[in-house]
Copies of this chain bind each other. A is one copy, B any other.
Amino acid sequence: MARDGKKINTIAFVTYPGLTLLDLVGPLSAFYGLDWPQVRPEAHWQTVSVGDRVEVIDTDTPMRLIPEKTFDEVPHPFGIIVPGGGAAALEAMTNDAIVDYVRTAAETAEVVGSVSTGAFILAAAGLLDGRQATTHPAYGELLKKLGANYVRRNWVEDGRFISAAGVSGGIDMALYLLARLKNKPIAKRTQTVIEYDPDPPFGGIEQNGGADGNGLAATVVEHQAKLKRALAERPHLHQKLFG
């Protein structure tokens, strides 16, 4: 509750070591217009990054980050967004602090979202059983094994749950959410402010031969092997993923 008596709706970005920085910063920046007061002024809106501890963590780039708050400090956010992280996201599936937070926060959240392999953390929390969800296309088959109804799309919504395939999918998804939570003009204005007018110089991904065509399949196999070892003490997840 803010000083003016209004409710504060918080969108929490869940951080963990090794996350893909752009999966977090893309949607975070697209939420730029969330607190413009002209629309739905009955509440304040804010974003916050949350982590197990408020300390420096590595990302997939040389840049590191410090989450602003601990999980305990933001127990009931309006929404949570879990960024991807390749092998690091799969590893996070075995981290109780992260998975427990996501499960608990999701119970009361009105928006539960993921970007790329962040979907695996939602799945590990048991949130995607039978739900339509997407992830990085290279990981689609693996997500199915966790009970999700994987669809290959830029982003997909299923009730309170929404997932994006990655990077630009995360921005697209956030602009859509902005239109849903505020309105479409705000979403469009945000798109103009952040000058999101994409034109990839070598075309889209389909035209590039897809994930396997670019040799990503080998990377996924390598990540799966790591995950298999990491899940040795999690027979339930191990059984689901590797039979």
Q: Please give the number of chain A residues whose Cβ is less than 8 angstroms from any Cβ of chain B in the complex.
A: 61
A194 surroundings in chain B (CB, below 8 A): 20, 22, 166-167
Q: Which of A61, A64, A184, A197 has the most chain B CB within a 10 Å cutoff?
A: A197
Contact indicator per residue, chain A 199-221, by CB within 8 Å of chain B (1) or not (0): 11110111011110011100000
A151 to B21, CA, bound (A): 31
Does A242 interact with chain B (Cβ within 8 Å)? no
> Which segment of A72-80, A105-113, A120-128, A170-178 sits at the interface?
A170-178
Q: Which residues of chain B have C-beta atoms less than 8 A from A64's C-beta?
A: 66
**Chain B residue at minimal CB-CB distance from A27:** B22
A169 adjacent to chain B (CB < 8 Å): yes
A20 → B minimal CB distance (Å): 7
How many monomers of this protein are in the complex? 2
A195 interface neighbour in B116, B179, B191, B197, Cβ under 8 Å: B116
Contact among B32, B66, B116, B208 for A191, CB-based, below 8 A? B208
- Contact status of A195 and B166, CB under 8 A, knowing A29-B20, A214-B189, A215-B189: yes
Task: Give chain B nearest CB distance to A19 CB in angstroms.
Answer: 12
Residues of B within 8 A of A68 (CB): 62-63
| Cross-interface CB contact of A167 among B47, B65, B137, B195, cutoff 8 Å | B195
**Given A49-B62, A62-B49, A65-B63: A195 and B29 interface contact (C-beta under 8 Å):** no
Known: A22-B25, A25-B25, A61-B47. A191 touches B200 (CB 8 A): yes
A204 touches B197 (CB 8 A): yes
Provide a sorted-by-A list of 18 A–B residue pairs whose CB atoms are within 8 angstroms. Answer: A20-B29, A21-B29, A26-B26, A29-B61, A32-B60, A137-B195, A165-B197, A166-B196, A168-B196, A168-B198, A172-B200, A172-B201, A179-B201, A187-B202, A189-B215, A191-B202, A192-B208, A196-B200
